[in-house]
Chains A and B, each alone.
Chain A
Amino acid sequence: MKKTYLLEDLCCANCANKIETQIKELDGVISASLNFIAQKLFVEFEDRIVDTITASVVKTAIKVEPDVTVEEM
């Protein structure tokens, strides 16, 4: 499955890189790509984590950049 998230108030490009790397390493995530300019995160993941993926994405993003807001598109 695939999902797209809008990450607002993402102020630092290096943080975006870190968020992308850490989401890629989440269990069940096949691929992740964060477009800093469009503020969009594309995640492809295995169907079994469909219930938890959004919570994991939010948790990871906030861990790296406390002020970020995550919204599923």
Chain B
Amino acid sequence: MTKKQKKLLKKILLAVAVFAVACLISFLLPDFPGKQWVSLAVFLAAYFLAGGDIVRKALLGIKNGQVFDENFLMALATVGAFFVGEYPEGVMVMILFQIGELFQAYAVGKSRKSISSLMQIRPDYANLIENGETREISPEKVSVGDYILVKPGEKVPLDGIITEGNSSLDTAALTGESLPREVSAGDTAISGCINLRGTLTVQVTKTSSESTVSKILDMVENASARKAQAENFISRFARYYTPVVVILAVILAFVPPIILGGGFSDWIYRALNFLVVSCPCALVISVPLGFFGGIGGAAKQGILMKGSNYLEALAKTDAFVFDKTGTLTKGNFKVTKLAPVDISETDLLKYTALAESQSSHPIAISIVEEYKAACTLLSETGSFSDVSDVEELAGFGVRAIAEEKEILAGNLRLMKEKNISLPADITEFTTGTAVYVAVDGTFAGTICVEDEIKPDTVSALETLRNSGIRKLVMLTGDKKATGEAIAKKLGLSDVHTELLPADKVTHLEELLTLQPSGHTLAYVGDGINDAPVLARADIGIAMGGLGSDAAIEAADIVIMTDEPSKLPTAIRIARGTMRIVRQNIVFALGVKVLVLLLSALGYSNMWMAIFADVGVCVLAILNSMRALRLR
């Protein structure tokens, strides 16, 4: 509890004590001259102890022209109770209102704390290295090019390149991924990660405001600027609700007694109940709080949403369009098949790897990696020293001398160019890229290199289908055979291949026109080369946001890890949050309308009205906080 809340609690307890004395005097003591006035004075004392502050704020409100504010309405309702002679009720309602306010402030404070604890990724200081000494300074004061020291247990304060040391970095706060990332000199260090083991020296590449951690925090905190329809509905509703209820109260107080005759005080009492129920706080607080909880809960899973409008839209998504490379597949190549001719598999791989060892082409790298892995498997030390005369033949492949043999590795055209005769029954690969290899002028076989499907892609698509996603489409710039083979493996029937970036936009627009109204379409890409498509879709989702500014900029929702399995998680969180928000709206409105009806008919009292105001508010806050724990 904060200081202010403790003060309020003391005031409430004191008011309750004085209230008890007042009741004692007025109900238990025998009559004495002036008893009426004494008890009124003690009731008033209790009233001002509990609600003096409310009355003060109400008067200030009138002075400032804020007529329909909740302090004014509470003050009016309770003062009204005094005038119709219900002293105990007037005091009690004020006390209950303050207890409700206290609960509410406490619950909001709690929620604030649990949401901000999710955001405990902002680094407090950086150890700047200057003239061989380090000193702690604020991350904002470090410039690009400075060197900083990150000790074990500390947060990486700014983005940079590691120049010295090796360690593992815990990225869980950013990605929800529990497996630490191994890093050493030359790797990038991303701000917000926690250094687990060794001491690292990092050369800063981005200022504090440009660093990953600032961008993520800005995004989550600014998420409230893009409001969901439900939120806008509630704030519009709140603007009309209070005046309407107050006008109804005035009508209720004066019209029925004039028409039906009889006393005013019963009707005024009913009208006062209206005033107590007229504050829309429960609604106004619980809807944005639910959304904020959902956004916070998603952030904990490494899913960043730029606004509650996207969360709302995602709950309505029934079609997903995917980019292939880097989204469903890893985007790096891997040797998938070896088809040697008159040579062992190991030798085919070895010669090719040696010949390709100096190339930076992704295919060459994948072959070298495969060879290294094979060596580790056979506990051999693969040496790349016995290679000479490497010649890159642009558009064809490479030629090199390895272990005193002439190696040719490249495409079919290279084989033709060098007059290598191919066997009639040569293995043809339907997918991927084939590397043709010849040793000393004789054809030695082919190696198939393919992009790998991410390990969780298949299960992620399956879960999406089961959760009611009607349409899954893949768009790719890759050639027809490869694209369709991958689509088949993933069980995607809808696939469009050989697309240029502009074609992707055209296809997406076509799909958008086919969308039934009330349902949205999400495009999932890696955010680097498909920014126009991301922007065009109802919701643009970028994968692999960690370390990629482009993705964070371009997308509406960013998945920090490379895992497609976060997509069903995001949908579950979005739908769960919407459910909570709807529950709150229905519950809060329902109770208020019910109490209004009962009050109008004379079946309700101020106690119920108070529950419909602050009680409902506290319950709605508690319900909202469930959104934080969705996964």
Tell me, yes or no, whether A binds B: yes
Q: Taking CB as reference atom, which chain B residue is nearest A33?
A: B225
Task: Answer whether A14 and B221 are a contact pair too, CB < 8 Å, given A37-B289, A64-B69, A66-B60.
Answer: no
Q: Does A54 contact B (CB under 8 A)?
A: no
Given A11-B101, A14-B238, A37-B112, A63 and B66 contact (CB-CB distance below 8 Å): yes
Do A15 and B64 touch (CB < 8 A)?
A: no
Contacting pair B284 A17 (CB below 8 A): yes
Q: Which residues of chain A come closer than 8 Å to B221, judged between CB atoms?
A: 35, 38, 40
Complex Cα gap A67–B615 (Å): 23
What residue of chain B has the Cβ atom nearest to residue A34's Cβ? Answer: B224
Closest-by-CB residue of A relative to B2 is: A9
> How many residues of A are counted as interface, with CB atoms below 8 angstroms from the partner's CB atoms?
24
Report the minimum CB–CB distance from B235 to chain A (whole Å): 5
B111–A37 CB distance below 8 A: yes
Name the contact of B66 in the complex, choosing from A18, A35, A36, A42 (C-beta under 8 A). Answer: A18
When chains A and B are docked, how far (Å) is the Cα of A54 from the Cα of B221? 21
- Chain A nearest CB: distance from B277 CB in Å? 14
Give the residue among A36, A37, A39 with the most B Cβ atoms within 10 A. A37
With A36-B285, A64-B69, A66-B57 as known contacts, state yes or no: A14 contacts B279, CB within 8 Å: yes
Q: Which residues of chain B come closer than 8 Å to A16, judged between CB atoms?
A: 284
B224 & A38 in contact (Cβ 8 Å cutoff): yes
The complex places the Cα of A39 from the Cα of B57 at a distance, in Å, of 21
Q: Is B105 an interface residue (CB 8 A)?
A: yes
Chain B residues near A13: list those with CB within 8 A. Answer: 281, 284-285, 288
A14 to B284, CA, bound (A): 6
Given contact pairs A13-B284, A17-B235, A64-B66, A42 touches B112 in the complex (Cβ within 8 A): no
C-beta contact mask, A44-66 vs B, less than 8 Å → 1, else 0? 00000000000000000001101
- The distance from the CB of A23 to the nearest CB of chain B, in whole angstroms, is 13
Which of chain B's residues 222-281 have a Cβ closer than 8 Å to chain A?
222, 224-225, 235, 238-239, 279-281
**Shortest CB–CB separation between residue B233 and chain A, in angstroms?**
12
Complex CA gap A63/B69 in Å reads 11
User: Which residue among A36, A42, A67 has the maximum number of chain B CB atoms within 10 Å of its CB?
Assistant: A36
Q: How far is the CA of A31 from the CA of B279 in the complex (A)?
A: 26
Closest B-chain residue to A22, C-beta based? B66
In the bound complex, how far is the Cα of B279 from the Cα of A9, in angstroms?
19
Known A14-B238, A37-B289: A9·B66 in contact at CB below 8 Å: no
Of B116, B221, B280, B289, most A-chain CB atoms within 10 Å: B221
Interface size, B (range) = 20 to 34
Q: CB-nearest residue of chain A relative to B280?
A: A14
Which of A9, A12, A14, A37 is the one whose CB lies under 8 Å from B115?
A: A37
The answer, among A12, A31, A34, for a CB contact under 8 Å with B70, is: A12
Per the bound structure, the CA–CA distance linking A35 and B56 in Å amounts to 26
CB distance from B257 to the nearest CB of A (A): 31
**Bound-state Cα–Cα, A14 to B221, Å:** 20
A34 to B225, CA, bound (A): 8
Task: Tell me if A9 and B4 are in contact (CB < 8 A).
Answer: yes
Q: Please tell me if B322 contacts chain A, counting CB pairs below 8 Å.
A: no
**B320 contacts the other chain (CB 8 A):** no
Confirm or deny: B292 has a beta carbon within 8 angstroms of a beta carbon on chain A. Answer: yes
Q: A63-B66, A64-B66, A66-B60 in contact; A17/B115 too (CB < 8 A)?
A: no
A63 to B238, CA, bound (A): 19
Question: Taking the nearest CB of chain A, how far is it from the CB of B105, in angstroms?
Answer: 6
Contacting A at CB under 8 A, from B88-139, are 101, 104-105, 108, 111-112, 115-116
- Report the Cα distance A54→B224, complex, angstroms: 21
How far apart are the CA atoms of A40 and B221 in the complex, in Å?
Answer: 9
Contacts of A9 in B (CB 8 A): 4
Instruction: Give chain B residues whose Cβ lies under 8 Å from the Cβ of A40.
Output: 221
Q: Is the CB of A14 within 8 A of B70?
A: yes
Q: Are A12 and B112 in contact (CB under 8 A)?
A: no
B238 A17 Cβ-Cβ under 8 A:
yes
Chain B residues with CB under 8 A of A64: 64, 66, 69
Q: CA separation between A38 and B225, bound complex, in Å?
A: 12
Whole-angstrom distance from the CB of A1 to the nearest CB of chain B? 15
- Residue of chain B at shortest CB distance from A36: B288
Distance between Cα atoms of A11 and B621 in the complex (Å): 13
Chain A residues with Cβ below 8 Å from B115 are: 37-38
| In-complex Cβ contact of B225 among A17, A21, A42 (8 A) | A42
A36 partner residues in chain B, CB cutoff 8 A:
285, 288-289
Cβ of A65 to closest chain B Cβ, rounded Å: 8
**Which residues of the other chain, B, contact A66 by a CB distance below 8 angstroms?**
56-57, 60-61
- With a cutoff of 8 Å between Cβ atoms, the chain A residues found around residue B279 in the complex are 14
Bound-complex Cα distance A66 to B69 (A): 12
**A58–chain B nearest beta-carbon distance, Å:** 13
Task: Tell me the complex Cα distance, A38–B64, Å.
Answer: 26
Q: How far is the CB of B454 from the nearest CB of chain A, in Å?
A: 35
* Structural contact, A12 and B289, CB atoms closer than 8 A: no
Which chain A residue lies CB-closest to B234? Answer: A17
Q: A35: which B residues are within 8 A, CB to CB? A: 221, 224, 292
Give the Cβ gap from A11 to chain B, nearest Cβ, in Å: 6
B238 touches A33 (CB 8 A): no
B208 → chain A closest CB, angstroms: 14
Central interface residue in A13, A21, A40, A64, by most chain B CB within 10 Å: A13
Q: Which 9 residue pairs are nearest across A and B when measured between Cβ atoms?
A: A13-B285, A33-B225, A35-B224, A13-B284, A63-B64, A14-B284, A37-B292, A66-B60, A14-B281
Give 18 pairs: A residue, B residue, CB < 8 Å, sorted on A.
A12-B70, A13-B284, A14-B281, A15-B70, A17-B238, A18-B66, A31-B225, A33-B225, A36-B285, A37-B108, A37-B112, A37-B115, A37-B288, A37-B292, A38-B116, A39-B112, A63-B65, A64-B64
Known: A15-B70, A37-B112, A64-B64. 6 other contacts (CB 8 A): A9-B4, A11-B104, A14-B70, A38-B115, A42-B222, A42-B225
